[in-house]
Each structure stands twice: as C-alpha cells, then as structure tokens.
Amino acid sequence: MRSQFLWTLAIAALVFPAVAIGNARAASASITFDNQSGDPALVKLLGPATRLADVPNGQRRTVYVAPGGQYFIKTRYGADAQHYRYAHGDPFAVMVTTRQYSVITITLHSVPNGNYPTHLDTAEDFNRSQ
C-alpha cells in the first residue's frame, strides 16, 4: 500500500507601494518559495503569468510576476522520478497596480493544517500544466 503524504503550505502576503523610476513603473509582484519540505521541489506558478522555480530543500527561490490576478501553484516533491509526490494549491490573489504590488512568501513544508490548502495531484496533471 502506498503511503499518502499531506503537504500543506504557509503563505504570507504583503502589499507595498510601487516605486516609480522616471516615467516608468518598476512594479512587479514577487513570490518567494521557501522549501522546508525535506525534499527538493519543482514549483509551477500558474495564472495570468507562468513561472517555474526549482527549489532545493532548505533554500528559497523568488519569481516576479506582472500582471496581478489569481494564481495557484503545482508542486513536485522528491529527487527520484520513481518516488515523486505531487500537490496543487488553492488560488490566491496577487496585486500589481501602478500604486501597489504584492510581496508573497510561500513556505513548502509537510505538516498538516497549514494556512494555504493543498491537494494531492498526479504526475499527468502536473506535466500537463503550462
């Protein structure tokens, strides 16, 4: 019988004022993935923009996105293709305007009852996501 893993994430979001440089707006939201799961992770950020982040265990990776909108992540955990585990998270809001942008940290970890719900996923669904 295959053991089931419950992966949950902690998400923290802040909103900062945008900084104008000359006439150009230099605002984009940042999303940092902090991997405390015990395994390497490959994170797909999906929404109005798509980003991919390879996050070794115990390390952080930051991606930048514009435009704002609803995003969610799909995550592959593990170092061995024979034993990968997959999860996807619920949608969350990212703000990018001429006046404000989101700064978000998502901690990848394997404890139940985190504040960002995730659900078990399949390799096929993870690989199908663009």
The domains of the chain, with CATH numbers, are 8-124 (2.60.40)
Q: Using alpha carbons, list the distances in angstroms from residue 63 to 38, 42, 46, 99, 107.
A: 21, 13, 12, 20, 14
Instruction: For residue 62, give both structure tokens.
Output: 């930051």
* Structure confidence at residue 2 as a pLDDT band (50, 70, 90): very low
Top pLDDT among 75 and 20 is at 75
pLDDT digits (tens, 9 = 90+) for 51-107: 999 999 999 999 999 999 999 999 999 999 999 999 999 999 999 998 899 999 999
> Which pTM does this prediction carry?
0.81
pLDDT score, position 129: 80
pLDDT score, position 4: 40
Q: Kindly give the pairing relationship between strand 60-65 and strand 29-35.
A: antiparallel
